[in-house]
Amino acid sequence: MSTFVTLDANDHVRRVQVLRSGASPQPGALLVVLLPSKAVFAPGADEVGLHLSNANREIGTMMRVGGILQPRPVTPEPTWDGSEITIPPVPEGTVIELFDLAGGERMAVLSADAEGWTETVSLPDAGTYEIELQAPGDFLPASLRIMI
């Protein structure tokens, strides 16, 4: 079995294929080469490295940096207590959306205008809510669904 990945324009893994020996990968796919931890690797044109220390992580959430697949950073996750949601310090440019799922509406869109921006949001009524955070760049999104 061989693992192949296809990358998007930002070098984020877009698709993972695990194929039997002899099967053809999707055009443009790169062969994933497993490497000892911290090994130096000079990938061929159709290869990308993966250190064994990261082999148990979800390959689909990684990005290529210098020929090696590495985990993408994760947007900090919000927390909640009662009817309050606390948005932890986030990178500048993070977009925060708050949804009332029962009412089917987007209640708010916020944007972090400074590094380390944080906020506490009070929810007005009992219901089911979801808050989604997307930091800029290579960050993976974070979300929280709550019922009060």
The predicted pLDDT at position 51 comes to: 83
The predicted pLDDT at position 50 comes to: 86
Q: Does 58 lie in the same domain as 10?
A: yes
The answer to whether 102 and 116 are in contact (CB under 8 A) is no
Q: How many domains does the chain have?
A: 2
- HEC letters along 86-122: EEEEECCCCEEEEEECCCCEEEEEEECCCCCEEEEEE
According to DSSP, the β-strands at 142-147 and 128-134 are: antiparallel
The predicted pLDDT at position 131 comes to: 95
pLDDT (tens digit, 0 to 9) for every residue of the chain, 148 residues total?
889 999 999 999 999 988 888 888 888 899 998 888 777 777 888 888 888 877 767 888 999 998 999 999 999 999 999 889 999 999 999 999 999 998 899 999 999 999 999 999 998 889 999 999 999 999 999 999 999 8
Q: Report d(CA 88, CA 85) in Å as an integer.
A: 10
What CATH number corresponds to the domain at position 118?
Answer: 2.60.40
The predicted pLDDT at position 42 comes to: 79
The answer to whether 143 and 132 are in contact (CB under 8 A) is yes
Give this prediction's pTM: 0.75
> Of the residues 71, 92, 123, which one is the last residue of a structural domain?
71
> Of the residues 53, 71, 89, which one is the last residue of a structural domain?
71
> Of the residues 71, 92, 118, which one is the last residue of a structural domain?
71
- The two three-digit tokens of residue 93, written as one number: 């440019």
